[in-house]
Chains A and B, each alone.
Chain A
Amino acid sequence: MAQSQGQGNLQQRKMQQELQQEYKQLVKNVKPRPPVLKNTILAFLVGGAICLIGQLILWFLKKEGLGDHEASEATAAIMVFLGALLTGLGIYDVIGKYGGAGSMVPITGFANSIVAPAMEFKREGFVFGVGARLFTVAGPVLVYGFLVSAVIGLIYYLIR
C-alpha cells in the first residue's frame, strides 16, 4: 500500500515535471525577446558618453595643473557627484532605462545604486531606513569586490 502510494506520488511528480517542461516551451514561444541589438547600441552610446565626459573632466583638471593621481581621483569624485545629483533630480533612472548596462557599469551607476535606496528608504528613518538599506543594491558588488581583491592580493603575495 505504502509502496504503491509512493509510486503514485512519483508518477504524479513526473507528470507535473513534464507539464512544466511543456509549459516552459510554450512560454518561450510567446514571450517577446528583449531587443538585444538596440540595447547593446544604446548601452555603447550612453556608456561611451559618460566615459567621454569623465575623460574631458580629467583633461581639464590636468590642464589646470593637477597631477596624474590627483586628477583621476578628483574626476571619480566629480562623476560620483554627478551621478548622485542626477539621481536626486529624477533623471538617472530615465538614463538607465535607455542606457541599461551603459549607465550601470560606470562609476555614476554606482552612485545611482546608493542614492536611489537612500532616497527611497528615508521614510523608514535614518537608522533602519537609510542606514540599513543604503547598500541593498551596491552591497553585493562591494562585498565580492573586496573578497576578490583580497584573494588576488593573497595569490600575488604567494607567487611573487
Chain B
Amino acid sequence: MEIEKKVGQQSIRFVKPIGITSSASVVGSTEGAGPLADTFDWIIEDLLFGEQSWEKAECKMLRESAKLALRKVNLQEKDIDYFLAGDLLNQIISANYAARGIAIPFFGLFGACSTFVEAMLLASILIDGGFARRVLLVSSSHHNTAERQYRFPTEQGVQRPPSAQWTVTGSGALLLEESGNGPRVTMGTVGKVIDLGMTDANDMGSAMAPAAADTLVNHFQDTGTNPDSYDLILTGDLGAVGKDTLIKLLQQRGYRLGENYQDCGMLIFDLEKQDVHSGGSGCGCAAVVFSGDILRQLWEKKYRKILFLATGALMSPTSAQQGETIPGIAHAVVVEFN
C-alpha cells in the first residue's frame, strides 16, 4: 500500500483543508497580569475558581474552555466527533474528569507540555483520514496542581534557581474542522523521544531542547524547508534557558534561528517584572498563547506561515526520585493562512 500523506522520515502533509474554526482560553491571575492579558477570553482571579481544590479548579478550567470554544461558533456537543484532551497530572485527571461533563467521544492524551500540539496533530489526522468532521481539543495546566505533584507544597518557603520555570495556570481549546476558511493546519512532524541525560527538575528547558532540535531538523529535512521558510517558529515552553540551548543546538546542525524564533513561555510573562525566572511552562502555556495571541495575529495576517512546536518533559516524581534522566519529546505542526 502506498502511503501518500507521509513526507520523509517523520513528517506528514494533510490533503484536506483542516481549518481552525474556533478557539478559547482561560487563564489565571498571573497570566492575566502578563503582556498577553488582552488576548485571553477569561482571566480567573481566584486560583480555586470557586472549587474546593486546585485539581477541581483545573478540571473546571479545562471544561469551561472546551465549552467556550463551542459556544463561540454556536455548536453543540453532538456536532463534534471527537474530544481530545490532556494535562500534566497523574492519570490525566483534569482531562478525564472534565470529559465526564462533555458528551463527545473522548481520547485522553499525555505528552506532558507537548500535549497541545500532539492533540492538534491527531485531530488533523482524524479529519484528514475521513474519521471526523470536527474535533475539539484542549490542554491545561495549573501552577498549584503541578507544584504540589512535581515539587513542593505551595506554602513551602523554597528558593528556586534562575533556570526554573513557572507552570502556567491556563487551559486552551481549539476546534478543528474540514473547512477552507481561516488558519489551516497543513503539515506536521511527529517527534521521537530524546534523552541526553539531563536530571535537573529545575531546568526543564535543557531537558527538552534536544528533542526540539531533533524534531526541527527532521522537519526541515523532510519538507525541504529551513528556518527562513516561516514567518514564525514558535516553541511551547522551553523558557529562556531552553531557547538559548535550542539556538546553539541548531547552530551545530547548520541552521540559524533568528528573529522569527519565539517561545510561548517567554511571551506569556514579562520576564523582567514578573517573578517567573526562566519563563512559563506546562500544557496550558503553549495552549493559551497559541489559541489567544498567535491565532489573532494569524487572522490579522501578521503571520502567514508558522511552525508551531511544543515540547514535553516526560518525567514523573517517581522517576526523578529514582535518579532517572528526563526524556523529552517535541511535536510540530505547520499553520498557514493565505
Contact = CB atoms under 8 A, between A and B. Distances in A.
Chain B binds chain A? yes
| Contact size range, A | 35 or more
Contacts of B249: 26
Contacts of B244: 30
Contacts of B197: 20, 23-24
B21 interface: no
A87 interface: yes
A26 B242 CA distance: 11
Interface in A80-132: 87-88, 90, 92-101, 103-104, 109, 112-113, 115-117, 119-121, 123
A31 to B, nearest CB: 5
Contacts of B159: 39, 96-101
B156 A93 contact: yes
B37 interface: no
B209 to A, nearest CB: 8
Nearest to B154: A120
A24 B240 CA distance: 17
Contacts of A100: 159
Contacts of B25: none
A32 interface: yes
Contact of B163 (A32, A95, A97): A32
B153 A116 contact: yes
Query: What is the interface of chain A mostly: helix, strand, loop, or mixed?
Result: helix
Nearest to B249: A26
Given A32-B241, A100-B159, A27 B153 contact: no
A19 interface: yes
Nearest to A133: B153
Contacts of B248: 26, 30
Nearest to A42: B159
A108 B248 CA distance: 44
Report, nearest first, the 9 A-B pairs whose CB atoms are least far apart: A96-B157, A120-B153, A20-B197, A116-B153, A116-B155, A100-B159, A116-B156, A32-B162, A23-B196
Given A31-B203, A32-B163, A116-B154, 18 more contacts: A20-B197, A23-B196, A23-B198, A27-B198, A31-B206, A33-B162, A92-B155, A93-B155, A94-B157, A96-B156, A97-B275, A99-B159, A104-B157, A109-B157, A112-B155, A116-B156, A120-B153, A120-B155
Interface of B: 52-53, 148, 152-163, 196-198, 203, 206, 210, 240-241, 244-245, 248-249, 275
Interface of A: 19-20, 23-24, 26-27, 30-35, 39, 87-88, 90, 92-101, 103-104, 109, 112-113, 115-117, 119-121, 123, 136-137
11 contacts: A24-B196, A32-B162, A39-B159, A93-B158, A96-B158, A113-B156, A116-B157, A117-B153, A119-B155, A120-B148, A120-B153
